Amino acid sequence: HVGSKLDDGVGYDLSASTFSPDGRVFQVEYAMKAVENSSTAIGIRCKDGVVFGVEKLILSKLYEQGSNKRIFNVDRHVGMAVAGLLADARSLSEVAREEASNFRSNYGHNIPLKYLSERVAMYVHAYTLYSAVRPFGCSFILGSYDQDDGPQLYMVDPSGISFGYWGCAIGKAKQAAKTEIEKLQMKDMTCRELVKEVAKIIYIVHDEVKDKAFELELSWVGEVTNGKHELVPKDIRVEAEKYAKVCTTTTSLLHGISVTWVQNNSTFKVFFPHFMVTN
Amino acid sequence: MAAYMSAGRSANAFSTHDFVPEWAQEEVSTGTTIMAVEFDGGVVIGADSRTTTGAYIANRVTDKLTPIHDHIFCCRSGSAADTQAVADAVTYQLGFHSIELDEPPLVQTAANLFQQMCYRYREELMAGIIVAGWDKRRGGQVYTVPMGGMIVRQPVSVGGSGSSYIYGFMDSNYKPGMTKEECLHFCTQALALAMERDGSSGGVARLAAITEEGLERRVVLGHQLPKFSNT
């Protein structure tokens, strides 16, 4: 690994308390690699709410449907979608819950999302300062809806920075997902319209060849849910998935070969080891 | 003996000692009249100016309207020391919180901070506080935090020993939808009535109007207070 080793073989990448000669903290970068190994999660903010979509890869047929959740409730009005090491993400969701709860207990109202994400980001950042601990190997997207601030979306990564977004993606297909998100006019959309688009993006970026089966976890918070963060109801999710499947036509023949194309764009991917599939 | 602006007190800590004379062991029922009124666009707050230790008026020009933040005030009744200490603590906490949030604090937040402290230390404190101010989210708001540490938002609230005498006036004269000037007049009259009847309230009437633009303070001196015929 370029730059991570001294002449005498002792690396700059062994602890988070060491900078490399070109000013990088390798442990934090390695933590971000862990996030990139995980399946994709996206969050998009629209005019009256926030929608999360997570591509949950099914590693075993024995998994109970709906288990291994990647989307958490942090407070009534705040949701959190994660990517990366799930155990790290779960412990951070507890940290976020405590922050939100303490805020409400001290100040008597809903925690503003900007403040919550800064507090949790500060916590994540603390683990990038010492050699005795490792950084958190997960990124997460926080979303909330509140009468006064409206919909808010923030993302925190392992380095401990947090930014506000209209749309963001984390995980293995984040680049492809970001490209899709950029095409949307989310500021003019409602949650109901956005749910379908989020489902579509997850279906588009899912790599059928490498990753086989997946379960789509969808959640939202907004005017449509009266400010409560919850999983999208089954009927709406089913409708969204149907829309997603229609848009990304998958002709899965005997060996799961798929043809997908990206709308409004002339690029398309075709896999045809044995069959030529046209549409 | 401590200075009080309170509305009655239970057993004195020194009551069992013999070297303090009887009159100094008397139950301290000293006073204050404080009040606050919401209107569209802000609040009007008012208080009398008398602080007593027993029968002696320690300060006849007290300012019981204390700023907590740019657009948030509190009216203090009860032990002068207790209310000053609590107000100082809340001022610090609220200032810190406001900087963290990078926006002006909510009146509700200030009121909750008072409530937290007044409830937690309810056995030690004697403090009846009215928190009033303006914020961008909900405009003018009045929250009363009486002794014991409960909190409730009210369009108009009175407190202190003098308040007993003006509940009737308040109930019959308050109308929702008053203007700032009408609120100021309403408060002046109410304070004058209370100060006339309550021996523990008196001096001058201090008033303040808090709106988005800021703060406007007024003092109504003794001879300028409205007079009511009762002969």
Per residue in B47-75, pLDDT tens? 999 998 888 888 999 999 999 999 999 99
The answer to whether residue B10 scores a pLDDT higher than 60 is no
Residue A106: closest C-alpha in chain B:
B113
Q: Check if A112 contacts B (Cβ < 8 Å).
A: yes
Distance CA A257, CA A252 (A): 5
pLDDT for the residue B181: 97
Confidence of residue A59 (pLDDT cuts 50, 70, 90): confident
Q: What is the pLDDT of residues B80-112, one digit of tens each?
A: 999 999 999 999 999 999 999 999 999 999 999
Shortest Cα–Cα distance, A147 to chain B (Å): 10
Shortest Cα–Cα distance, B73 to chain A (Å): 17
What's the pTM value of the predicted model, to 2 decimals?
0.80
Q: What is the pLDDT of residues A212-226, one digit of tens each?
A: 889 999 999 999 999
Residues of B in contact with A115 (CB under 8 A): 100-101
Taking an 8 Å Cβ-Cβ cutoff, which residues of chain B contact chain A? 97, 100-101, 106, 108-109, 111-113, 115-116, 137
Instruction: Give the total residue count for chain A.
Output: 279
Give the CA-trace dihedral at A260, A263, A267, A269, to 10 degrees: 0
As to burial, measured by CB atoms within 10 angstroms (0-12 exposed, 13-18 middle, 19+ buried), residue B63 is middle
Q: Which phi and psi angles does B130 have, rounded to 5°?
A: -115, 120
Q: What is the pLDDT of residues B12-47, one digit of tens each?
A: 444 455 677 665 554 333 479 999 999 999 999 999
Confidence of residue A5 (pLDDT cuts 50, 70, 90): low
User: Average pLDDT of A24-30?
Assistant: 94
The secondary structure element, H or E, covering residue A138 is strand A138-146
Tokens (6 digits) for B49: 């100016």
For residues B1 and B132, which has the higher predicted lDDT (pLDDT)?
A: B132
Q: What is the pLDDT of residues B115-149, one digit of tens each?
A: 999 999 999 999 999 999 999 999 999 999 999 99
For residues A62 and B12, which has the higher predicted lDDT (pLDDT)?
A: A62
Instruction: Return the residue in B68, B99, B101 with the most chain A beta carbons within 10 A, the one to mutate for interface testing.
Output: B101
Tokens (6 digits) for A243: 């829309």
pLDDT for the residue A208: 87
Mean pLDDT of chain B: 89
Distance CA B174, CA A131 (A): 66
The answer to whether residue A267 scores a pLDDT higher than 60 is no
Neighbours of A219 (CB within 10 A): 27
Rounded to a whole number of angstroms, the distance between the first and last alpha carbons of chain B is 38
Distance CA B97, CA B72 (A): 14
In this predicted structure, which of A71-75, A255-259, B127-131 has the lowest mean pLDDT?
Answer: A255-259
3-state secondary structure of A224: helix
Strand-by-strand arrangement of the B205-211 sheet = B156-159, B34-39, B42-47, B205-211, B215-220
Residues of A in contact with B108 (CB under 8 A): 108-109
Give the whole-number percent of chain A exceeding pLDDT 90. Answer: 74
Residues of B in contact with A107 (CB under 8 A): 97, 109, 112-113
Shortest Cα–Cα distance, A230 to chain B (Å): 26
Tokens (6 digits) for A107: 């100040």
Neighbours of B171 (CB within 10 A): 9
**Cβ(B133)–Cβ(B104) below 8 Å:** no
pLDDT for the residue A250: 54
